[in-house]
């Protein structure tokens, strides 16, 4: 049964904002603050060009033409079984397979499949705690099935399988019903599960790419804690507030962001693996606060508490050992949250599902696909025009902490390593983030062919389902050849469709729930995403 909220049709967003900090000039003066133009792209990797803006989620620019002869389950199982036979027995229990069989069968183009492969390389390395990047190995000539050794990403089989088992909605156990295909499939399936010592050894890659970096699975994969202080222990190794009190931090501030609703302060610390970037964000009601109180957060400027800003939200980007980034969102008190509400941050170029809030992990990775976004500092110039508001000691401390040129150098260094990692993986930083492409592909409205190919139903089965009172309401739109249904509706009835029409498959339900983001569930709570599930 679905646990999605009612659609809020009256919530219509007409945002024209980009994910990247725009290089456009805003010539306004407010409360004595001087706003300066943002520097245009000059070829420096620290300030890369904005990524291409993808179309909204419901728009499929890549027309899907289902294969005349879909890749059968028997082929996938045989190829995996043959590959396992070549492995060192000591490695099999650490091995997992990821398949593009379904994406191929529904008609994904060569370009779309390449985007899926790139998304997979980025996703699997984004949940790794190893210093070496991993390049998954294709085991077949069509490059539809990939093998990963979990040792290479620093996750034990138990940890990895726990997350997959908690949320994976397509865990098919093949049953022997006496037919030729079912006998072979059931035998191979049992053998594969036994050799891998896992019930989730084969995973749909399109699902993994669209789900692994969503907040709840992402938190589990990366072992993210519940507080910012613990996240600092994990990736910084020092007390962030102590660093600030000791002026051991480099900052910029600005008030013309096109991501943040209000002004922002960005700071960088020397983390365990590289830069540890903290963004202090504010509601619109606090627009301009950083120009009169730049020495926050609270408790870090004992000499003059009146100069401490009071943030409403904190975003953090930490460097992973392999050079990619880890992401963390927290409320003003440093408690972890799943998503940033639109009263704080927004991105009109993201998928429609993210119109009401930006989820940690997936949205952050897409927004920062080209690296840390560099913005021109306007705080130093703004304060220079209002020196009479500050004492000499205050001004001296502001100048020690707010160092725009030093900040640029730190960003350049961390971006160079990040962009080098992408290049090693064969991923372009100037094209649309492949994770964003993969999310849109998976979240697209589903056609009759999509439903049949994902569920294994025949045309006759689907016709029967359309007349069955158990399914007819949800599937009604598929009575039309051009009709579509939402993935959330499909997956709410998938277990019963398989049970009724596919005797040769037992669909093993997720232990917790199928985690699926929809526009409906994103308005259920301002900062939590526990409601984005299908039970």
Give the DSSP letter string of 59-70. --SS-----SSP
pLDDT digits (tens, 9 = 90+) for 255-269: 877 788 889 999 999
Domain with 261 in it: 29-52+223-433
Of 395, 416, 433, which marks where a domain is finished? 433
Q: Is residue 144 part of a domain?
A: yes
User: Which residue, of 399, 418, 433, is where some domain finishes?
Assistant: 433
Query: Is pLDDT of 82 > 80?
Result: yes
The reply to whether 497 falls in a domain is yes
Mean pLDDT of 86-106: 97
Q: DSSP letter for 432, please.
A: P
User: What's the total number of domains in the chain?
Assistant: 2
Confidence grade of residue 23 (pLDDT, cut at 50, 70, 90): very low
pLDDT digits 0-9 by tens, 166-212: 999 999 999 999 988 999 999 999 999 999 999 999 999 999 999 99
Classify residue 66: in a domain, yes or no.
no
Question: Does any domain span residue 153?
Answer: yes
pLDDT exceeds 60 at position 43: no
Can you say whether the dihedral through the CA atoms of 280, 286, 287, 293 is positive or negative?
negative
- pTM for this one? 0.89
Q: What is the pLDDT of residues 156-166, one digit of tens each?
A: 999 999 999 99
Percent of the chain whose predicted confidence (pLDDT) is above 70: 88
Q: Are residues 177 and 104 in the same domain?
A: yes
């Amino acid at each position: 049964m679905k646990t999605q909220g009612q659609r809020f049709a009256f919530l219509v967003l007409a945002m024209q904002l980009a994910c990247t900090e725009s290089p456009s000039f805003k010539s306004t003066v407010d409360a004595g603050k001087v706003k300066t133009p943002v520097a245009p792209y000059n070829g420096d990797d620290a300030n890369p060009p904005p990524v291409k803006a993808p179309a909204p989620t419901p728009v499929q620019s890549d027309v899907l033409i289902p294969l005349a002869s879909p890749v059968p389950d028997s082929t996938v199982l045989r190829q995996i079984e043959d590959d396992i036979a070549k492995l060192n027995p000591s490695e099999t229990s650490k091995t997992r397979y990821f398949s593009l069989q379904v994406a191929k069968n529904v008609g994904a183009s060569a370009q779309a499949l390449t985007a899926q492969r790139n998304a997979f390389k980025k996703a699997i390395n984004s949940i790794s705690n190893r210093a070496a990047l991993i390049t998954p190995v294709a085991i077949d000539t069509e490059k539809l099935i990939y093998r990963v050794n979990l040792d290479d990403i620093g996750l034990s089989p138990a940890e990895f399988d726990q997350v997959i088992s908690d949320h994976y909605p397509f865990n098919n156990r093949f049953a022997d019903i006496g037919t030729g295909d079912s006998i072979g499939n059931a035998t191979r399936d049992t053998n594969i599960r036994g050799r891998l010592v896992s019930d989730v050894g084969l995973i749909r890659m399109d699902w993994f790419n669209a789900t692994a970096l969503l907040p709840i699975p992402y938190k589990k994969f990366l072992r993210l804690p519940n507080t910012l202080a613990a996240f600092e222990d994990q990736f910084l190794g020092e007390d962030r507030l102590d660093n600030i009190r000791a002026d051991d931090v480099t900052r910029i501030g600005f008030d013309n962001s096109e991501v943040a609703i209000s002004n922002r302060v960005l700071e960088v610390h020397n983390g365990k693996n590289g830069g540890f970037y903290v963004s202090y964000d504010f509601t619109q009601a606090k627009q301009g606060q950083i120009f009169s109180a730049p020495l926050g957060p609270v408790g870090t400027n004992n000499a003059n508490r009146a100069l401490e800003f009071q943030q409403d939200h904190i975003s953090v980007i930490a460097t992973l050992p392999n050079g990619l980034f880890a992401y963390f969102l927290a409320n003003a008190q440093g408690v972890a949250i799943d998503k940033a509400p639109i009263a704080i941050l927004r991105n009109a170029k993201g998928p429609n599902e993210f119109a009401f809030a930006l989820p940690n992990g997936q949205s952050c990775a897409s927004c920062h696909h080209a690296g840390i976004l560099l913005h021109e500092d306007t705080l130093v110039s703004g304060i220079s025009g209002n020196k009479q508001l500050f004492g000499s000691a205050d001004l001296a401390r502001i100048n020690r902490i707010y160092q725009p040129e030093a900040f640029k150098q730190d960003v350049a260094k961390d971006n160079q390593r990040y962009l080098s990692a992408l290049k090693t993986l064969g991923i372009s930083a100037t094209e649309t983030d492949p994770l964003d492409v993969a999310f849109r592909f998976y979240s697209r409205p589903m056609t009759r062919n999509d439903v049949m190919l994902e569920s294994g139903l025949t045309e006759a089965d689907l016709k029967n389902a359309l007349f069955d009172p158990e399914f007819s309401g949800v599937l009604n739109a598929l009575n039309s050849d051009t009709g579509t249904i939402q993935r959330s509706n499909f997956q709410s009835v998938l277990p019963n469709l398989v049970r009724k029409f596919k005797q040769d498959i037992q669909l093993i339900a997720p232990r917790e729930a199928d985690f699926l983001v929809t526009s409906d569930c994103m308005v259920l709570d301002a900062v939590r995403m526990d409601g984005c599930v299908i039970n």
